[in-house]
Amino acid sequence: MNFYEHQDRARRRTLWLVTCFGLAIVSIIVALNAVALVAVNASARQPVTLQAWLAGSTWAWIAAGVVGVISAGSIYTTLRLSGGGPALADMVGARRVDPATADPGERRLQNVVEEMSIASGTPVPALYVLDDEPGINAFVAGTRPSETVMVVTRGALETFDRQELQGVVAHEYSHIFNNDMSLNLSLMGVLAGLMLMAQIGRLMLRSGAHGRSRNSGQFALLGIAVLVIGYIGLFFGKLIQAAVSRQREFLADASAVQFTRDNQGIASALWKIGQAVDGSLLANRHAEDLGHFCFGTPVQAAFAGLLATHPPIAARIAAVNPGFRPLPTAPGVAMPAAGASAADGLGTSGFAAGNATAAAAPTWSEFEAGSVAAPPPAAVADSVGTLSPRQVAFGQALVEKLPVTLHERLHQREGALQVLCALLVNAAARGAHDTVYDLVQSHRADLVAGLPELVGAVRDLPPAARLPLAQLAMPSLKLLEAAERRRVVTLVKSIIVADRQFTVFEFALLCLLRDHLADAATRKPPVRFFDFAAVDEDLRLLLSVLARHGHGDEAAAAAAYLRAWRPFGFGDGGLLAREACTMSALGRSLERLARLSPLLKKNVIQAAADCVIDDGRITVAEGELLQAIALTLDCPLPPLI
């Protein structure tokens, strides 16, 4: 099953979850009405028939009460989590990791996550730590990749070595790719509603038990009925939650091995959880709600075989590494010395000793070429939501090769903005450099100090590093206040306009800023279109822009366009005129295409690649353009290096 199928399955599972939720509410209404009818008949002189009961209004009031209570619980939790991943991290009391942290464990986590994000084309998630949790655990949460958070316990940071941490991070990235995060948030809302019903039953029972009126006993009995029926509904809700979660954990473990080409790291991480005193258990009061989010089981489940959100550790280890034998614990990780590479002391080329991939990893010089042999368009589309050893090596090499000054600036709010400005200076026409500096100074005078040094550092990096560098700046920029984020976007647009040319990198950068810094960045575009007929003009514009970008000759552009256009079955709609193929128009069309169902997005990315890849090679700019398109469609495309 590929990325698009996983995304579509997650969407359909959400609909299935809503259906099950509706059936649970109906079942509770029927059960409570049955209890009420029996109670009435027990004390009535004249028995009430079912027909008479339904002819009255009591059953409707019971139904309205059940719907109101359960909906209130679900809506409250859903609204509380409307901010996505950051809202959940705040709810459980996690601390946001300062991008400029000096803590060795946090630095190591930061480097591993940055490497994985570059390799997969996925936005760098915000990192959080549960400081008071000795249990070994981690989870990701969010409504879309651009606002994902990764939460790690202090126990995990202190227990895992780099190789094990890589396995766990790769496991969590599988959940990002497969859209498990959105389903997890939906499950949390559903279970909160069912839990509220049971809690109200408990409250009614206590009130009746302590009451002194003649009706107190009946009220207590009704409370028992509500409590029992509520918990039965909750039991079946958790049963569904556990069944869904267990299968996803096996899949994420297998994906982690596929991504890192290393089955020792994740197997060793699981083994350490099994050996630890606290295991993966959490003391957090929301631990039970987080069961289906976490890497390991956060609470001891009743009816462990049925309600366990995770398979047994031994079964998970056997699935990824049948012949696993624990290795001696790696020594602690030392911080890099001043002037050393950002990744020094954190594992050569990113992998811990014993990982066979490191020996076969490509050298940095292989990534410095301006173009590479192009894969078939279908292979480009299939690469979404996955990564190869070569891409992993690229991510590790880039983080390792970044000059210390540049790496440190990326982890500071003002420094990240300076790096962004340096990238734009390098992208601008030479005659416009002074204008760019003036615009930066008008935004904030202190940003100009040290900017020439950063411009030189960025210029020394290969072109393939431009977009990943911008991605690494996003976590720090997202820490800015909302008004300042808007000013940053305005500044970038002003710089882009300054030299009267709109390059592919600048377009890709705007896509990145819109997905991270815009006010609506946390909101996932809803699926609205289930066939291409509703977006045929948007497709036509997208393919026209791509054909004209890659082919200066009119005939070659028309041929590339038709090759990509015809499979959609809309006839021979002609290549749009050059003046219609603007980047701003492309941005608007991509926003509509982002509302296509997941399975249709694969055809869009494949057609886009077909337009760009014509001469058997793909340039850095062409790769950036494809990544920008995929980013807007919420389809993480790894770098085509």
CATH number assigned to the domain comprising residue 308: 3.30.2010.10
Amino acid (one-letter) located at 256: A
For residue 389, being part of any structural domain is answered with no
For residue 524, being part of any structural domain is answered with no
Q: Over the chain, what is the mean pLDDT?
A: 82
Averaged pLDDT for residues 495-519 = 83
Instruction: Count Cβ atoms below 10 Å from residue 37 Cβ, excluding itself.
Output: 20
Residue at which a domain ends, from 270, 304, 320: 320
For residue 460, being part of any structural domain is answered with yes
Pairwise CA distance, residues 540 & 546, whole Å: 10
If asked whether residues 312 and 180 sit together in one domain, one would say yes
Pairwise CA distance, residues 639 & 641, whole Å: 6
Averaged pLDDT for residues 310-333 = 77
The residues with which 294 forms a beta bridge, in sequence order, are 139
Pairwise CA distance, residues 445 & 181, whole Å: 41
If asked whether residues 427 and 476 sit together in one domain, one would say yes
Pairwise CA distance, residues 536 & 568, whole Å: 9
For residue 219, being part of any structural domain is answered with yes
Q: pLDDT tens digits for 244-294?
A: 677 788 888 888 888 888 889 999 999 999 999 889 999 998 888 787 788
Q: Give the confidence band of 104 by pLDDT, cuts at 50, 70, 90.
A: very high
Give me the pLDDT at residue 208, please. 59
If asked whether residues 141 and 259 sit together in one domain, one would say yes
If asked whether residues 214 and 170 sit together in one domain, one would say no
400 catalytically annotated:
no
Q: Give the confidence band of 354 by pLDDT, cuts at 50, 70, 90.
A: very low
Q: What are the helix (H) ranges across 160-262?
A: 162-177, 180-210, 216-260
Burial class (CB in 10 A: 0-12, 13-18, 19+), 93: middle
If asked whether residues 441 and 500 sit together in one domain, one would say yes
With contact defined as beta carbons under 8 Å apart, do 313 and 274 qualify?
yes
If asked whether residues 176 and 95 sit together in one domain, one would say yes
Domain containing 175: what range? 87-184+247-320
Pairwise CA distance, residues 362 & 155, whole Å: 34
Q: Is the pLDDT of residue 612 over 90?
A: no
For residue 238, being part of any structural domain is answered with no
Lowest mean pLDDT of 327-331, 459-463, 533-537, name the range. Answer: 327-331
Q: Is the pLDDT of residue 326 over 90?
A: no
Lowest mean pLDDT of 91-95, 105-109, 491-495, 499-503, name the range. Answer: 499-503
Residue at which a domain ends, from 320, 349, 369: 320
pTM of the model: 0.79
If asked whether residues 451 and 572 sit together in one domain, one would say no
Pairwise CA distance, residues 622 & 371, whole Å: 9
Cβ contacts of 470 within 8 Å, gap of 6 or more:
420, 423, 508, 509, 512
Q: 417 in helix, strand or coil? A: helix
For residue 59, being part of any structural domain is answered with yes
Residue at which a domain ends, from 320, 349, 380: 320
Amino acid (one-letter) located at 279: G
For residue 513, being part of any structural domain is answered with no
Give me the pLDDT at residue 203, please. 75
Give me the pLDDT at residue 217, please. 58
Q: pLDDT tens digits for 367-397?
A: 666 677 788 888 899 888 888 888 888 888 8
Q: Which two tokens stand for residue 396?
A: 């590790």
For residue 379, being part of any structural domain is answered with no
Instruction: Count Cβ atoms below 10 Å from residue 78 Cβ, excluding itself.
Output: 16
Q: Which two tokens stand for residue 578?
A: 């050059």
Q: Is the pLDDT of residue 220 over 90?
A: no
DSSP-derived pairing of the beta strands 126-130 and 95-96: antiparallel
User: Could you give the count of Cα atoms lying within 13 Å of 591 in the half-sphere of its Cβ?
Assistant: 12
Amino acid (one-letter) located at 158: E
Averaged pLDDT for residues 392-414 = 88
Report how many domains make up the chain. Answer: 4
Active-site entry in 106, 115, 172, 624 = 172
If asked whether residues 494 and 561 sit together in one domain, one would say no
If asked whether residues 50 and 139 sit together in one domain, one would say no
Pairwise CA distance, residues 394 & 490, whole Å: 32
User: Strands of 138-141's sheet, edge to edge?
Assistant: 95-96, 126-130, 149-153, 138-141
Pairwise CA distance, residues 167 & 259, whole Å: 9
Q: Is the pLDDT of residue 42 over 80?
A: no
Q: For helices 216-260 and 313-320, what crossing angle results, to 10°?
A: 20
If asked whether residues 141 and 222 sit together in one domain, one would say no
Q: 95 in helix, strand or coil? A: strand
If asked whether residues 258 and 156 sit together in one domain, one would say yes
With contact defined as beta carbons under 8 Å apart, do 451 and 437 qualify?
yes
If asked whether residues 127 and 202 sit together in one domain, one would say no
